[in-house]
Every structure is written in structure tokens, then in C-alpha cells.
Amino acid sequence: MTLGVSEAPSPNDGLPAEHLAETAEAKQIEGRSLGKIAFARLRRDKIAIISAVVILLIIAVALLAPLIVKLNGFPPDQFNKLDADGNPLLNTRDGGIPIGGLFGSGSSAEHWLGVEPQNGRDVFSRLVYGTRVSLLVALGGTIIAVVLGTVIGMVAGYFGGWVDTLLSRLMDIMLSFPSLLFVMALTPVIASRGQDLLGIPDDNKLRMGVLMFVLGFFGWAYLARIVRGQTLSLREREFVEAARSLGAGPGYVIFKQLLPNLLPTLLVYTTLLIPGNITAEAALSFLGVGIKEPTASWGRMISDASDWIESNPLYLFFPGMALFITVLAFNLLGDSVRDALDPRAGRG
């Protein structure tokens, strides 16, 4: 956690601004905001840099999926039966296991990570397209959770009284929900109701929307609690008192005074929410309530592959690794961001 500063920071930018007031560079440092300081710290944090590069790479893969898949020439949903020489890819007499390749994965110069048993779809292409689903759902769910959590947390913290009591109990209720079970039960219901009542076709757009919604809906309470706590302490600070005594309304105080001070907290929890949501999306797809066939998703690849672990372990390894690396990168970056933003961490 404190890696960023463990390598004996130089006094001028390793410490918060107020401590630097007496040093020679004070003038030079004066104008630096917390954001700038944090960014400088992050830049010196090797793990943060590596994580950020990995995340950028993953985002690039998601955005450029169609181009990347053109490299090997196999669309993710295409069933492949024969290789370039006309030899069969799958042994249909043995349940459809891939022929040859590393550990029976069917990997070759054409199919870099092998092919799926039974249908011969290219694992690499599906992995690349699976990135899109994972990231999109996780980011969407995170945004919903952050917006809901911030608004509800600030309202509870700022207004206090019965509003606070009501909203805090709501947070308690949400936090005590067995959310994964609930989501599993809810997702198919919402999807089918969407079709019956609103006439929205039960396609992947709806499914992704539903996934984002449920992840957001069950993810906001934790953040709201933290925001509420921060707001409670912030609203008693002198600058807020001053603004209020000058006649500032709640809108002004919330948006101009509280929100900017909450941003570091929000940033940290956002980066930490994303990997949790990626895992949750994969878990839901694994359990079969995620997006629909044939769209590739890591969770379902893992679910499909788990049946074949004995004859084709690599089929499980690749999506598992992709999920692992992505979640790890987001987690490490989140940790680094927290360390960089937390003044106390610097003294640790």
C-alpha cells in the first residue's frame, strides 16, 4: 500500500503542501493542488504505472476488437470446422475435442489460443470480444453506483435528521441483501418483463443494461455510507459555516464546497469498484444470467471451459488469466490512487 513513498521521497514533493511552506521551494510549490501532488506521486509508483499501462492496453483491446480480430481473420462467432489445409479442427467422434495443439487446445499458427471444443470458435477472437462486455458492464455498473452513492450519501450527510435516518437505514438494508442471489433471480425477470410490459426486445442491449443496473443498484450503498460520513465532517468545517452564514443555499454548498472535497474519496472507491464489478459480471455470466449467446463473455467462457478442464486445460486458462490480470490491474491501481491521495499514507 505504501509502496509509492517507501523509497524515501525527496522532501519537496513527497509531503503535503502545508509542510513545505517553510522550505526554500515553497514559492514554487505553492500553487500545487492535491491532484497535482497525487499525480506526481503516482508517476513515481512503478506498480501504478504498470497497472495503468495494462488497463490502457485492455481498454485499447476492447475498443479495437474488430481490428484485432482481423489480424487472425476469425470472427468470434464463426464456427470453424477445417484448418487452412482442409484438415478437421475437431474430433467429432470424441465429443468434439480440438485436434492437436498445446495440451489439446487446438492451438496453431491460425488459431493462436486454440479453438473451442464442439464448435471450433477461435478462442483468441472470443477473448478479445469478451473484453468489451466485461469492461462495458463493469464501467456502466460502476457509474450508476457512484452517482447513486454520491447523491444519496451527500443528501443523508448534509440534511441530517429524519432524512439521514431514513437513508441510512436504506443503506443498511441494501448492504444486508444477499446481492448475488438477488441479482441472479432478478436479471431474467427484469429481462422478460422488459419484453412483456415495455416491448423492449430481450437482446444483448437490454441484457447489458440490466446487468449494469443491478450491479449499480446493489453497489451504491457502501459508497453512500462513506460519502455520508465524509459529508458529516465536512459540513461542520469553517469554510462551510462561513458560506452558510453568508447566505449560501444547500445547492451551492453541496456542489461548490462539499463535492470537490469528496472527489479524492470518490476516485479511490471508483477504481476499487470496477474490479469488483468485473468479477461480478463474470460470475453472473458463469451462472448463465449474463448476456446471451453467441456474444462472447469471459464469465461464460470460463463456465463452458470448466467442463473440459481435463482434456483441454488451456481453454479455461486463457479467459481465467484475462479476468485475473484485469482485476489485479484495477485493484493495484486503486490501491496506488488511494495511497497517493491520502496525506497520512505519506507519513507511514
List contacts with another protein (CB under 8 A): 77-79, 81, 90-97, 117-119, 201-203, 288, 292-294, 307-308, 310-311
Distance in angstroms (rounded) separating the CA atoms of residues 336 and 100: 43
The nearest distance, CB 196 to another protein, in angstroms, is 9
What length does the chain have? Answer: 348
Distance in angstroms (rounded) separating the CA atoms of residues 103 and 125: 19
In terms of CB distance, is 119 or 331 closer to another protein?
Answer: 119
In terms of CB distance, is 258 or 291 closer to another protein?
Answer: 291
In terms of CB distance, is 4 or 117 closer to another protein?
Answer: 117
Distance in angstroms (rounded) separating the CA atoms of residues 82 and 109: 14
In terms of CB distance, is 15 or 90 closer to another protein?
Answer: 90
The nearest distance, CB 291 to another protein, in angstroms, is 11
- 91 — phi, psi (to 5°)? -95, 95
The nearest distance, CB 158 to another protein, in angstroms, is 46
Name the residue among 323, 312, 283 with its Cα closest to residue 130.
323
The nearest distance, CB 121 to another protein, in angstroms, is 8
Q: Exposed e or buried b for every residue in 137-150, given b needs 16+ CB within 10 A?
A: bbbbbbebbbebbb
Distance in angstroms (rounded) separating the CA atoms of residues 338 and 2: 10
In terms of CB distance, is 14 or 130 closer to another protein?
Answer: 130
Residue with cell 453506483: 145
In terms of CB distance, is 45 or 122 closer to another protein?
Answer: 122
In terms of CB distance, is 119 or 261 closer to another protein?
Answer: 119
The nearest distance, CB 141 to another protein, in angstroms, is 23
What is the residue-wise DSSP string for 262-319? HHHHHHHHHHHHHHHHHHHHHHHHHTT-SSPTTS--HHHHHHHHHTTTTT-HHHHHHH
The nearest distance, CB 190 to another protein, in angstroms, is 15
The nearest distance, CB 175 to another protein, in angstroms, is 31
Distance in angstroms (rounded) separating the CA atoms of residues 59 and 117: 28
